[in-house]
Amino acid sequence: MKKLIAGNWKMNTDLSQGSELISSITDKIQANKELQDNCDFLVCPPFVYLSSIKGVASGAQDCSSHKSGAYTGEISASMIKDCGGSYVILGHSERRSYHGESSAVVSDKAKAAHEAGLIAIICVGESENQRDQGQEQTVVGGQLLGSIPDTATAQNTVIAYEPVWAIGTGKTASPKDVADMHSFIRSKLNGLIEGSEKVRILYGGSMKPENAGELLAIPNVDGGLIGGASLNADAFIEIGLAAWAN
């Protein structure tokens, strides 16, 4: 499966930093035909910069579960599409924890995304405490079951496994833990999504050029969801290079 290297800019950059970053990323991708053939790149900036992203696939970091109407401050999936976005990240742990998003909410948002023709990247992952108590598969299994709507297909859905304790901390899960969890997720998807073997499962949590090669070589790791390192064009592209070097 072609790896997907997805950058989650979170609430970072300003307009000029963002445009510099994107032109540097697209220049580097366009200069390397082999890289384009071997990896798909995606950039998810803050909403307001979405329409300025050209030359690489783009997506948003959240969307409303509603189509339109009196929902002050919300952005619909079709608006993301209008601004050139083709993906939306949903259920990121920062949204689950700071905005109280339950899996039921994530599922409604993913359904709205699918209906608007977007690909939903549905994030799941356990906390450190849950892993210490050996509950990681129960937690992730429950999140998958609750967050994937019946509109999901292998084409319109990507899963991102992001252990909460590895996000932005510099800690990564061990290759064995990643392998076990990705294989567990693959088996859980069977029954939830038709053609589940074709669903991309990304790893996220402190992925950087130094560890990307090892992580992306693990079976069932079909790409990365990258936060901090996606704000540096060289680091982001090097992760892409590591993806097909294996």
Does 162 qualify as catalytic in the annotation?
yes
Instruction: Determine if 65 is a binding residue for ligand PGA (CB under 6 A).
Output: no
Question: Which residues, 1 to 30, sit near ligand PGA by CB under 6 A?
Answer: 8
Measure the CA–CA gap between 61 and 45, rounded to whole angstroms.
7
Does 128 qualify as catalytic in the annotation?
no
- Tally Cβ neighbours within 10 Å of residue 27: 13
User: Stretches 51-59, 108-116, 134-142, 162-170: which one binds ligand PGA (CB under 6 A)?
Assistant: 162-170
Give me 203's structure tokens: 């790893």
Instruction: Determine if 205 is a binding residue for ligand PGA (CB under 6 A).
Output: yes
Pairing state of beta strands 223-226 and 87-90? unpaired
35 vs 166 by CB, closer to ligand PGA = 166
Instruction: Determine if 227 is a binding residue for ligand PGA (CB under 6 A).
Output: yes
Measure the CA–CA gap between 51 and 30, rounded to whole angstroms.
20
Q: How far is the CB of 68 from ligand PGA (least distance, A)?
A: 28
Measure the CA–CA gap between 143 and 95, rounded to whole angstroms.
14
Of residues 167, 178, 189, 221, which one binds ligand PGA by CB under 6 A? Answer: 167
Q: How far is the CB of 76 from ligand PGA (least distance, A)?
A: 23
| Total binding residues toward ligand PGA, as defined by CB under 6 A | 13
Measure the CA–CA gap between 108 and 147, rounded to whole angstroms.
8
Instruction: Determine if 206 is a binding residue for ligand PGA (CB under 6 A).
Output: yes
Catalytic residue among 94, 101, 126, 162: 162
DSSP H helical ranges for 39-174: 77-82, 93-98, 103-115, 128-132, 136-147
- Tally Cβ neighbours within 10 Å of residue 102: 13
Of residues 91, 163, 204, 240, which one binds ligand PGA by CB under 6 A? Answer: 204
The candidate with the shortest Cα–Cα distance to 234, out of 205, 210, 200, is 210
| Contacting positions for ligand PGA (CB under 6 A) | 8, 162, 167-168, 204-207, 225-229
